């Protein structure tokens, strides 16, 4: 019997075969500085190496390619669309252009200009709607309804979560003795997919989620036991903003099943982590990619003696945003 969220290990392994050669098998590198600082063996999974700059290319490529396999390319003649806080939109744009499918990407006005420009540079339309992910998603739904486009959800679909879950397979191949994986958590496709893969291979590995301190829809939804709406608030970790959808069918149940620990991180903690990663690892990353380090530092998560992987999820940060983080960290 399929689990209610629909994400099985078999689906993740199918995604791995489907996206092979279309996405980067990202490196897992040991951080000497962080390992010494926390008396642990800390590794960084560098999804910043993806051509789109973030992990989202895995899920988007898997879903579009799977739809073509199942229904034929003509089924996507009207194009694909999605709503995004930036990284998923860029991934859909890149995956669609590579697979010869038209695309329209809907974004809220809170999405930073640099992420909008990155999408437009791929030759697809970036349509800005409202001040929340939910408003942008409403426009994507209208394009599906009125123009016959196909929706590529940012997270709430088994094919998307399975695509992101290929990271978990790679982690288990490169570091089979991992004690803990720390993952940024918003809609749940990344953490849920990784967790589904890892728990099937090594159930004892702990999956730790990290959410924003404000505007964290998954945090509030898990507490309520059902999807809830939250106000979307501007954050250094903007990729972790947005709702999970009141009709969430996949990721709420998936995250609830595979996640062992959950923390919220403050803006100053994110700022410090972004600066630390640049100073010590020479990595300029977005706030959402730094929340694993932020959580260890802010909450003093017990990692001593453990082998830990932090998912460095994306590099979509403007110099203006990083400068804001630097000023916050220096206060």
Active-site annotation, residues: 56, 313
Residue 288: Cβ within 10 Å count:
31
Q: How far apart are the C-alpha atoms of 91 and 72, rounded to whole Å?
A: 21
**Contact 270/290 with Cβ under 8 angstroms?**
yes
Residue whose C-alpha is closest to residue 320's, from 234, 243, 242: 234
Three-state DSSP at 55 gives: coil
- Tokens for 121? 């540079």
* DSSP structural state of residue 259: -
β-bridge partners, 184: 210
Backbone angles phi, psi at 151, to 5 degrees: -80, 130
The interaxial angle of helices 251-258 and 189-201, nearest 10 deg, is 40
């Amino acid at each position: 019997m399929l689990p209610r969220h629909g994400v099985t290990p078999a689906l993740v392994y199918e995604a791995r075969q489907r996206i092979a050669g279309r996405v980067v098998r990202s490196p897992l590198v040991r951080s000497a500085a962080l390992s010494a600082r926390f008396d642990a063996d800390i590794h960084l999974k560098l999804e910043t190496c993806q051509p789109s700059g973030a992990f989202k290319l895995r899920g988007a490529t898997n879903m579009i390619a799977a739809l073509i396999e199942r229904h034929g390319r003509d089924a996507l003649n009207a194009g694909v669309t999605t709503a995004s806080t930036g990284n998923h939109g860029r991934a859909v744009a890149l995956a669609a252009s590579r697979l010869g499918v038209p695309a329209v990407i809907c974004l809220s006005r809170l999405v930073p200009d640099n992420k909008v420009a990155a999408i437009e540079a791929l030759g697809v339309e970036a349509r800005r709607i409202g001040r929340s992910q939910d408003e942008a998603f409403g426009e994507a739904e209208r394009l599906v309804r009125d123009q016959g486009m196909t929706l590529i959800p940012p997270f709430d679909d088994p094919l998307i979560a399975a695509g992101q879950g290929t990271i978990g397979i790679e982690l288990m191949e490169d570091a089979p003795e991992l004690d803990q994986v720390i993952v940024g958590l918003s809609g749940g496709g990344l953490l849920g997919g990784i967790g589904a893969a890892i728990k099937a291979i090594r159930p004892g590995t702990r999956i730790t989620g990290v959410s924003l301190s404000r505007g964290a829809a998954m945090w509030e939804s898990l507490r309520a036991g059902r999807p809830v709406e939250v106000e979307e608030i501007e954050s250094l970790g903007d990729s972790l903003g947005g709702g999970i959808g009141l009709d969430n069918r996949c990721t709420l149940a998936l995250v609830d099943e595979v996640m062992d620990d959950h923390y919220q991180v403050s803006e100053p903690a994110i700022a410090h982590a972004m600066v630390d990663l640049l100073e010590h690892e020479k990595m300029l990353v977005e706030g959402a990619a730094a929340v694993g380090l932020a959580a260890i530092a802010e909450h003093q998560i017990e990692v001593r003696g453990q082998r830990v992987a932090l998912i460095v999820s994306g590099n979509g940060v403007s110099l203006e945003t990083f400068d804001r983080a630097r000023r916050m960290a220096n206060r």
